[in-house]
C-alpha cells in the first residue's frame, strides 16, 4: 500500500467543504445523542440546538448528501462524526454503552478526542485477527495484540466510510 504524502493530504483537506455554523451545531448534537445511545431525531435536534425545523432539516439534508451522517429510514440520525448506533466491525464501549464506529480510525480516535474510558474491539481488515484496545481518560492502557497497524486509505479513495454502517 502506498504511503500518503503530505501534499496529497493537504489537497484533500482543501477540497473538503467547511461546515456552516448550523451544520456544525446539528452534527455536534447528533453525535452527543448517539453517544447517549439515542437516535438523533429532527425534533430532538431542534430542541437541543434552538434551531427551526427548516434549519435542522436543511442541515440534515446537506450533511447526508456529503456523507457526514447516516439516517434511518424514518429520518432519525444513527451515525455522526464516525460514531454509530448501527453495528459495524468496529465495536466501541463508551461509558459502558455499546456503540460502533464507521472505521478503525474513528474507533481508535473517538476515545482519545473525548479523553474518556473506552474499549475498542475490532479486527484486521486483511487477516481478520481480533484486536482490543483499552483506554483510560483517552490514553491507551492495553492493546492486544501488543503490536498494531492502522491502515488508512488515500483521501481520494476513502473520502467517506459512512457506507460501512
Angle between helices 53-65 and 42-49 (to 10 degrees): 120
Rounded distance between C-alpha atoms, residue 117 and residue 27, angstroms: 23
Residue 29 has pLDDT above 60, yes or no: yes
Residue 152 has pLDDT above 70, yes or no: no
Architecture of domain 84-164: 2-Layer Sandwich (3.30)
Convert the pLDDT of each residue in 60-80 to its tens digit.
999 998 889 998 888 799 999
What pTM was computed for the model?
0.81
Rounded distance between C-alpha atoms, residue 121 and residue 146, angstroms: 14
Average pLDDT of the residues of the chain: 85
Rounded distance between C-alpha atoms, residue 119 and residue 155, angstroms: 27
Q: Contact at 8 Å (CB) between 122 and 104?
A: yes
Helix (H/G/I), strand (E/B), else coil: 136: strand
Question: Strand 83-84 relative to strand 90-94: parallel, antiparallel, unpaired?
Answer: unpaired
Q: Do 6-81 and 84-164 come out as alike in CATH topology?
A: yes
Architecture of domain 6-81: 2-Layer Sandwich (3.30)
Quick one: pLDDT at residue 146?
A: 82
- Nearest CA to 125 among 147, 150, 106, 100? 150
Taking the domains of the chain in order of start, what are their residue ranges? 6-81, 84-164
Quick one: pLDDT at residue 103?
A: 87
Amino acid at each position: 500500500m502506498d504511503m500518503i504524502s503530505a501534499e496529497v493530504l493537504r489537497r484533500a483537506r482543501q477540497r473538503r467543504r467547511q461546515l456552516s455554523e448550523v451544520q456544525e451545531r446539528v452534527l455536534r448534537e447528533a453525535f452527543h445523542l448517539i453517544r447517549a445511545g439515542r437516535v438523533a431525531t429532527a425534533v430532538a435536534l431542534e430542541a437541543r440546538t434552538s434551531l427551526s425545523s427548516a434549519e435542522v432539516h436543511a442541515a440534515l439534508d446537506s450533511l447526508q448528501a456529503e456523507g457526514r451522517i447516516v439516517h434511518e429510514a424514518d429520518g432519525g440520525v444513527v451515525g455522526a462524526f464516525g460514531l454509530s448506533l448501527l453495528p459495524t466491525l468496529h465495536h466501541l464501549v463508551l461509558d459502558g454503552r455499546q456503540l460502533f464506529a464507521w472505521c478503525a480510525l474513528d474507533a481508535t480516535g473517538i476515545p482519545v478526542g473525548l479523553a474518556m474510558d473506552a474499549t475498542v474491539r475490532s479486527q484486521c481488515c486483511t487477516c481478520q485477527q481480533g484486536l482490543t484496545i483499552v483506554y483510560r481518560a483517552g490514553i491507551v492502557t492495553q492493546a492486544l495484540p501488543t503490536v498494531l497497524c492502522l491502515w488508512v486509505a488515500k483521501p481520494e479513495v476513502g473520502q467517506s466510510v459512512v457506507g460501512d454502517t
